[in-house]
Chain A
Amino acid sequence: MTKGDLLERDNDLAALEAAFADACAGTGRIVLVSGEAGIGKTSLVESFAARHHDTARVLRGYCDPLLTPLALGPLHDISRSLGTDLAAQIDRGARTSTLFAQLLDTLLAPIRPAILVVEDIHWADEATLDLLKYLGRRLDAARVLLIATYRDDEVQRHDALRLLLGDLATVRIVERLQLARLSRDAVRALARDRAGDTDAIYSQTGGNPFFVTEVIASEASGVPATVRDAVLGRAARLAPGGMAMLDLAAVIGARTEYALLEQFPDIAAAGLPECLALGLLQDTGTGVAFRHELARNAVLEAIDTLRRRALCRDVLAGAIRAGYAEQGYAARLAHYAEGAADAGAVIRYADAAGRTASRVGAHREAVAHFHSVLRFSDGRSTAERATAATNYARECAVVDQLADAIAGYRQAVALWSDLDDPLKHGETLAALAWPLVRHGATAEADTAAAEAIALLEPLGPTRQLAHAYRTQAHLRMLDRDTARAVEIGGKAIAMAGGLGDIPTLAGAEMVVGAARLVSDDAGGRAQLDRCLDLARDNGLDELTALARMNLGSAYGEQYRFAEAEQELLIGLAFTRDHDLDHSGHYMSSWLALTLLFQGRWKEAAERAADLLDQPDLAAISRIMALVALGRIRTRRGDPGAREALDEALTLARSTATLQRLAPVHAARAEMEWFAGDPGAVSAEASAVFDLAAARRHAWHSGEFLYWRSLAGETLSHCDWAAAPYALQIAGNWKAAAGLWRARGCPYEEARALAAGSQTARLRALELFDALGAAPAAASLRRTMRADGRRQVPRGPRASTRNNPFGLTNREMTTLGYLVRGFSNAGIADELFISAKTVDHHVSAILGKLGAASRKDAAEIAVQEGLYAKNGEEPA
């Protein structure tokens, strides 16, 4: 088969052509080419790219099957073919956002359209997947066709890739091509020059194109049973020199650069021509490569262990001589070093590769590299082992392998303690606190932070101590222990400020600001703003997101929903621009809660449901989305509230913090109220009441007290509970309703009005009906009937009264007050609506009656017999 002559790929090529035509017209496209190993993904893409070398810039990046992939490996390849210094910038510590933006700028340059190919993304490192996500969201107006290939049977084992594919599924410009096996006819056509049974080849290979071509090339008499046998059958025709070359190439990897091959002149001279002649290796322009990874694997597996180890040693030495350490290929050197079982080299290169991976956001790869360092560190000094354990633990914490992070830090803590190094010992203890608290071990985290401070304080002001203060303040803030958070956070701010440690200073401002804000202390806002300024000026994007997140949730916890919504929308826009999905999800869950309390249930329900469909939703976001959904279902009388809130409770218990437990138990108390179980209401409302009261959390405590009083408990007076709840419990429904209205919470307002006068109850019914709060409305209707009121409005649809002017019920009522000479403010007070709404009704009335003034409208109403002069409805 010659290049460009692919069998049964016409439709796939046509799809690529169509996508490229779109790209040329200015609509960027992404095509995901998938299929099993050997199906011909590369052949298809190469054949397509070959047609466009004259019209497009073709850029290629490869993901390699190393033990641990090279972070941003494909970006290295692309950078080299572009002749830019992107790869060198990685080593110089450039931020990935800068690198990605530079690549995007290059792609957007108004010259020829670009075809960007990223091969074998099932082997991609985490940072490369970030790059693909980044591009996937930004190519829609670019003259770029991005093609990514992967083995679909590997996707299930690669969580991060699965998430990327899920994410790309929502992008409009993405298309998937799944390559099919060859048909029987195609196999016959390929094998037509070969003696023997072509049908046997078809049935043995199943039509896998690589397998078919290997069988044909092996020229064996029978049909080999596996692709491995076919490859080895073909290799068996090599002379010893050729075999040595092939083994060397197999150990080196998917591609062997000429720069590296030059380190092995004898082997190359003796064997390379034969390997190329037989087609076992191919010239790629910059080096040689196997026709397929399946072939390399077959050859590699056939090399015995000792020889493989010796070859790895040779290749490692050659690669070092070729300057690979200086060219950003530490990950490959670490790979060879592990194969050679050379502990010193593993430590040197895996450590370097781990640091690079961590810096560019390939944290899973960093974990693997640092784990290698740790495994080979047995004979090393205590300090080296402690550093290795710390590096490993830090990366584990980033990727949420919390148990490993805790174990790693504990190991490092013990080693630093042995060395009697209080600075490192204290620093590591403070670092240990964070995975502990996220693991739900709040008490242990507190202890670790306190021990850290005790160790560090005698040493005087240090960055480590400032950071330990900031950590402990954060723990106190999460537990809503405002006084301690402010006190300890203040020390962190003073010390970090004195030392010029900006990240710790900004982080501490955020912690103290958030702690004050959740306690309704207005000064918190200024501190969060200082944090935002510092974060913006110093490029601390994650801290910016964290600060917005805390602003939104703090306002939300204070029932200041309009402000919460505003902050969350700003924060969401920021996380979208910076691809900070986890922070974005958490803010979105709080936005759902905010919308719920503002009576926008439809938006809230859709947002919460969308979030819960996200495959990688963090527990804290999941809890808040479930609370929103559970409350909406309860209030609508929809099924499934208990399922949602059961799951929320399980998750909240594992966090063991008031911040999660209080919203879940409050939502459950409300659910039990509608289930008609006062005992359960009490139990839910008491579950974390003591903690909320100890923390003086006015809103959580207020809602719990409200439910407990409804459930029939006799409560001692609680004057610091949030005013609307306290007023309602005290029976002052009117004042409570006014405060709820001021906060823009229509359901809570209606609930207060429902305890009031007949007019108030009618308004409550109106609010409940408008919200779709069926259970609350039904319950109020029962109460009103039981109280002897004969005419209870039946519902939102049944209550339109006929009048010749087309006035609505509400407008008719308002008109009655106009006849009686009420002012707008007076009407607002009577009807429990805002003066602005009355204004609105009055304008509508004037328009419909054709009246020039309020007085005019009142006269028309009497003349037309809508009302008697005293404002009574005519009999």
Chain B
Amino acid sequence: MNRYLVERTFPDGLGLMPTQEGNGAAQTVVANNAAKGVTWVHSYVTPDKKRTFCIYDAPSPEAIRQTADTNGLPVERITEVRVLDPYFHY
């Protein structure tokens, strides 16, 4: 399983709201992902909600594209990444 940063652009802004409806949409995405072994870890969204940076665990970039397609989400760029954090534990 690899970790990926997925960049997406929403020209009209991302519609996902912290409401019951929004939660429902998010859970649909999670279920569709699971079918392909893809896990949406979390995302960062720009204040204008036009760009998102999403962290995913997935078996391959193709799996991410396939689930994005199922979920009707755009994919601008996929980059494989590793975690690096500033707090080293000895």
Residues of A within 8 A of B (CB): 602, 605-606, 608-609, 629, 632-633, 636-640, 774, 797-798
Contacts and interface: CB of A to CB of B under 8 A. Distances in A.
Contact of A798 (B11, B69, B79): B11
Given A637-B77, A798-B11, 11 more contacts: A602-B69, A605-B65, A606-B62, A632-B62, A636-B65, A638-B78, A639-B2, A639-B78, A640-B61, A774-B76, A774-B77
A596 to B, nearest CB: 12
> Which of B62, B74, B76, B80 is most buried by chain A, counting CB atoms within 10 A of its CB?
B62
Contact of B62 (A605, A637, A774, A797): A605
A660 to B, nearest CB: 23
A636 B69 CA distance: 15
Contacts of B62: 605-606, 608-609, 629, 632, 638
A798 B12 CA distance: 10
A734 to B, nearest CB: 31
B80 to A, nearest CB: 4
Interface string B1-20: 01010000101000000000
Query: What 6 A-B pairs have minimum CB-CB distances, sorted nearest first?
Result: A639-B80, A638-B61, A609-B62, A605-B62, A638-B78, A797-B11
B71 interface: no
Contacts of A797: 9, 11, 74
A842 B4 CA distance: 43
Contacts of A636: 61, 65, 78
B69 A633 contact: no
Nearest to A778: B77
Nearest to B75: A772
9 contacts: A606-B62, A609-B60, A609-B63, A629-B62, A637-B77, A637-B78, A638-B62, A639-B61, A640-B80
B3 to A, nearest CB: 10
A798 B76 CA distance: 13
B66 interface: yes
B82 to A, nearest CB: 12
B81 to A, nearest CB: 9
Nearest to A772: B75
B59 to A, nearest CB: 9
A769 to B, nearest CB: 12
Contacts of B63: 609
Contacts of B65: 602, 605, 636, 638
A499 B72 CA distance: 63
A606 B64 CA distance: 11
A868 B2 CA distance: 56
Interface in B1-43: 2, 4, 9, 11
Given A639-B4, A774-B76, A606 B66 contact: yes
A436 to B, nearest CB: 36
A138 to B, nearest CB: 27
B75 to A, nearest CB: 8
Nearest to B76: A774
Contacts of B80: 639-640
B11 A639 contact: no
B33 to A, nearest CB: 16
A38 B61 CA distance: 45
A637 B78 CA distance: 8
A543 B80 CA distance: 44
Contacts of B11: 797-798
Contacts of A640: 2, 60-61, 80
A597 B61 CA distance: 19
B9 A639 contact: no
Contact of B79 (A605, A606, A608, A639): A639
A359 B74 CA distance: 54
Interface in B39-90: 60-63, 65-66, 69, 74, 76-80
Contacts of A638: 61-62, 65, 78
A608 B63 CA distance: 12
Contacts of A639: 2, 4, 61, 78-80
Highest count of chain A CB atoms <10 Å: which of B69, B77, B79: B77
Contacts of B2: 639-640
Nearest to B78: A638
Contacts of B60: 609, 640
A640 B78 CA distance: 10
A47 B69 CA distance: 49
Given A602-B69, A797-B9, A798-B11, A633 B61 contact: yes
Nearest to A629: B62
B13 to A, nearest CB: 13
A606 B11 CA distance: 28
Contacts of B4: 639
B6 to A, nearest CB: 10
Nearest to B69: A602
A797 B74 CA distance: 10
Contacts of B74: 797
A638 B62 CA distance: 9
B12 to A, nearest CB: 9
Nearest to B63: A609
A639 B65 CA distance: 12
A629 B62 CA distance: 9
Contacts of A602: 65, 69
A200 B71 CA distance: 57
Contacts of A637: 77-78
A587 B78 CA distance: 30
Contacts of A798: 11
B42 to A, nearest CB: 19
Nearest to A605: B62
A636 B79 CA distance: 11
Contacts of A774: 76-77
A606 B76 CA distance: 19
A774 B78 CA distance: 11
A636 B68 CA distance: 15
A606 B70 CA distance: 13
A814 B11 CA distance: 26
A608 B65 CA distance: 14
A733 B67 CA distance: 37
A629 B78 CA distance: 15
A797 B9 CA distance: 9
Nearest to A610: B62
B67 to A, nearest CB: 12
Contacts of B69: 602
A657 B52 CA distance: 46
Contacts of B61: 633, 636, 638-640
A845 to B, nearest CB: 25
Contacts of B79: 639
Nearest to B61: A638
A6 B28 CA distance: 43
Nearest to A613: B59
Contacts of A608: 62
Contacts of B66: 606
A639 B77 CA distance: 10
B11, B61, B74, B79 — most chain A CB neighbours (10 Å): B61
